[in-house]
Structure 1
């Protein structure tokens, strides 16, 4: 059965973590909102689904995944559901739970990265909260990026199966998500990311290894991969990466 991913069609955002898992596994899926409206796609279809009064368990916001009669929202929950089905959750219950914990930590970093450019209100323009954003971004660059990446470095180095993967000796969705996190940090905070990655070589090596995987490489070179832009989570403002 074809998975249906519902997410905003013009940004990577939180949906990109799900896209990467589906692409790396070679799964059959459709990115619904990126279809033309004539085929049931577009942002209007996404909005209609979110606002449908007949849905008993409504999604709060994209991304959400539909698999037959099952609807799963929230990035980490979607990956928890997909992981075992795509062979991306390690071996056994313990690996699956550890992979989920890693994903939740990545979600924490992503939320903090978003708040660097919208530290006061998500409903206000960046320009209206620039001063607060500069202050918030400084703390994120100097304290939070190193803290998070150093922790992932420790996880990799303490992995009994070796430092090539976060969980055991196989690719998991946590590896793919850490790759995407590094990609986003390099885009939004190129100077700060370079400093942090210089001190976390195992994280950088994992990123490079994931990028070389054939399906990931092909996806990154395809039109299915949306470019980073200033509407997504990771946004490049020079004053925030001083």
Structure 2
């Protein structure tokens, strides 16, 4: 793999979704990348989604490619990019806790999505609104407070450093930041009223990092859809 080869991201061109976890990593890393779906259209993403592209088999977007490397799986991608960029927790214990937090963020986003798509995960929200209503209510009242309360407790352990693990930014901070962005957009009143002051301050602080701030203000940042933390 040549050092000057660009990264390629394959994700749906019309929503941030799980693709923004990867976009935010690339942006904070300060590397050039091609957002293939937005440049070439959805068919370029579908060739990987349908299993017809060359290279190591992948299951679904987001997918990254650079040289011979092809991989998918949001938490796996974040961990890999963290390692190759230096945005990885130092020490075995922090590494293990990073895996733990990353898995919980993945669960949070998955449950947020599924609350809006309880009948068919790949179906539209509008096609299952009636079935989704009680699931969304339960997610707001029970699951979201539990997830964000947990992340608040974890962050407070390292509050003096301003990050989740250690004294530098890692992929874990990027993962939580995007999850908080999605939660605030989708459930603004809940986000504002929950007892998570450390998390809210963390999100605001992350948003001021120069590369992230530039991304958020740029056309590269796709608006949230408003239906399922996507």
In structure 2, the CA distance between the partners of 1:84 and 1:100, relative to structure 1 (3 Å rule), is same
2:229 paired residue among 215, 229, 234:
234
SS of the aligned residue for 2:26 comes to helix
1:176 paired residue among 174, 177, 184:
174
**Unmatched 5+ stretches in structure 1:** 36-40, 236-242
Residue 113 of structure 1 deviates from its aligned partner by 0.6
SS of the aligned residue for 2:160 comes to coil
Q: Which moved more, 1:104-113 or 1:126-135?
A: 126-135
1:12 aligns with 2:16: yes
**Unmatched 5+ stretches in structure 2:** none
* TM-score (normalised: structure 2): 0.91
Root mean square deviation, CA, Å: 1.9
Residue 218 of structure 1 deviates from its aligned partner by 0.5
1:203 aligns with 2:199: yes
SS of the aligned residue for 2:9 comes to strand
Is the CA contact (8 Å cut-off) linking 1:89 and 1:95 kept in structure 2? no
1:24 paired residue among 24, 28, 52:
28
In structure 2, the CA distance between the partners of 1:142 and 1:42, relative to structure 1 (3 Å rule), is same
The one-character-per-residue Cα deviations of 1:83-142 (angstroms, maximum 9, x if unpaired) are 021221122443333222211110100001101211121244433422321111111111
Aligned to 2:156: 157
Aligned to 1:38: none
2:164 paired residue among 160, 166, 189:
166
In structure 2, the CA distance between the partners of 1:189 and 1:4, relative to structure 1 (3 Å rule), is same
5 Å-filtered alignment, 1:212-223, equals 212-223=208-219
Number of aligned residues: 226
The one-character-per-residue Cα deviations of 1:153-199 (angstroms, maximum 9, x if unpaired) are 1111123x735111111111211221111111111111122122xx1
Residue 233 of structure 1 deviates from its aligned partner by 4.1
Distance (Å, rounded) in 2 between the aligned partners of 1:168 and 1:24: 17
Distance (Å, rounded) in 1 between the aligned partners of 2:170 and 2:55: 32
Is the CA contact (8 Å cut-off) linking 1:33 and 1:45 kept in structure 2? yes
* TM-score (normalised: structure 1): 0.86
